[in-house]
A = this chain, B = another copy of it.
Amino acid sequence: SSVSTPIRATLFPGDGIGPEIADSVKQVFNAADVPIEWEEHYVGDQIDPRTQSFLTWESLESVRRNGVGLKGPMATPIGKGHRSLNLTLRKELNLYANVRPCYSLSGYKTRYDNVNLVTIRENTEGEYSGLEHQVVRGVVESLKIITRQASLRVAEYAFHFAKSHGRERVSAIHKANIMQKTDGLFLKCCREVAEKYPEITYEEVIIDNCCMMLVKNPALFDVLVMPNLYGDIISDLCAGLIGGLGLTPSCNIGMGGVALAEAVHGSAPDIAGKNLANPTALLLSAVLMLRHLNIHDKAEQIQNAILNTIAEGKYRTADLGGTSTTSDFTKAICDHL
């Protein structure tokens, strides 16, 4: 189902290598004739009082209006009085689920060749509440907050995702043997949702055991759903199994159907502007954005072109042990289209 009226999407090229890899996305989208019109927004150089961060109000409005966006790495400026850019985006856009498909790439060999899973992370609460207190000198506490609303919402998303992507099992990851009330509530919500999806196998796995199983045999897992911090940890662990954050796409799902796809690796200031960056994570994230928009034919074409280029192994950036520039690699992908 090809689309012809152009769809507007917000693009945050981001910092460091961000503009170069965003350029790679633009080139590949052009070559594939994707009917997307980018609205580009950069991080400001001063705090916008309306967002309390360097993100401009206009850029957030742009994502809200368009409903979709793509984001490169953003380096939060050091200093007080403003919030992390990533956290601000999640909060302001109510991005409640972070979805990361993670699969072994043929042609890029790691210790694992059988990874094919999706981590779905609650993205708004838990250990990220920001509520911390010094109780008395030398005693500090952080509050982990788990709500029924956010837990049900991410569980719903996970089961819906599993079903609509032909996946068979959802594993809820937790530490309810220790945090009986918080993680217990999370599990309770997952169980409630699981009942509505009898065709999906549901299981619960304690996080320490989950990490051990993941490194022993990741093929045991399919879709994983979990509270915020566990998702942070496990999604990076899984990325490590297949080669690292330079290769794994990510998409944040917000209320009202908003989706912000993003490369979750850093901005790599040391190689910025040198045409050395690997655009794979941002390209595959852009593919997730297309799938969210139901532009499946283009998504499929582009994903195949990326995966085939990597599988061939002729063009490979330095992080993967090759000598190609960002432009060479991008051109190779375009040639595959």
The residues of A with any CB-CB pair to B shorter than 8 Å are 84, 110-112, 127-128, 132-135, 137-149, 175, 177-182, 184-185, 207-209, 211-216, 229, 232-237, 239-241, 243-245
Contact = CB atoms under 8 A, between A and B. Distances in A.
Contact of A181 (B84, B142, B179, B234): B142
Given A211-B211, A211-B240, A212-B237, A181 B145 contact: no
B144 A144 contact: yes
A238 to B, nearest CB: 9
Contact of A143 (B141, B148, B180, B245): B141
15 contacts: A111-B111, A111-B112, A111-B215, A127-B144, A135-B145, A138-B149, A139-B146, A140-B184, A141-B143, A141-B145, A178-B229, A211-B233, A211-B234, A216-B244, A233-B233
Contacts of A112: 111
A111 to B, nearest CB: 4
Contacts of A181: 132-134, 140-142
Contacts of A229: 175, 178
A166 B127 CA distance: 36
B236 A209 contact: yes
B212 A244 contact: yes
Contacts of A175: 127, 229, 232
Number of chain copies forming the complex? 2
B127 A178 contact: yes
B212 A128 contact: no
A143 B142 CA distance: 6
A217 to B, nearest CB: 9
Given A148-B138, A148-B139, A215 B241 contact: yes
Contacts of A209: 236
A328 to B, nearest CB: 25
Contacts of A182: 132, 140-142
Contacts of A177: 84
B147 A138 contact: yes
Contacts of A243: 216
Looking at A147, A216, A233, A243, the one whose CB has the most chain B CB atoms below 10 A away is A233
Looking at A110, A148, A209, A215, the one whose CB has the most chain B CB atoms below 10 A away is A215
Contact of A180 (B132, B138, B178, B208): B132
Given A138-B149, A139-B146, A208-B237, 18 more contacts: A110-B216, A111-B111, A139-B145, A140-B182, A141-B143, A142-B143, A142-B182, A144-B144, A175-B229, A207-B232, A208-B235, A208-B236, A212-B237, A212-B240, A215-B237, A215-B240, A215-B241, A233-B233
Nearest to A84: B177
Given A140-B185, A142-B182, A236 B211 contact: yes
A130 to B, nearest CB: 8
Nearest to A133: B181
Nearest to A229: B175
Nearest to A134: B181
Looking at A182, A235, A237, the one whose CB has the most chain B CB atoms below 10 A away is A237
Contacts of A213: 240
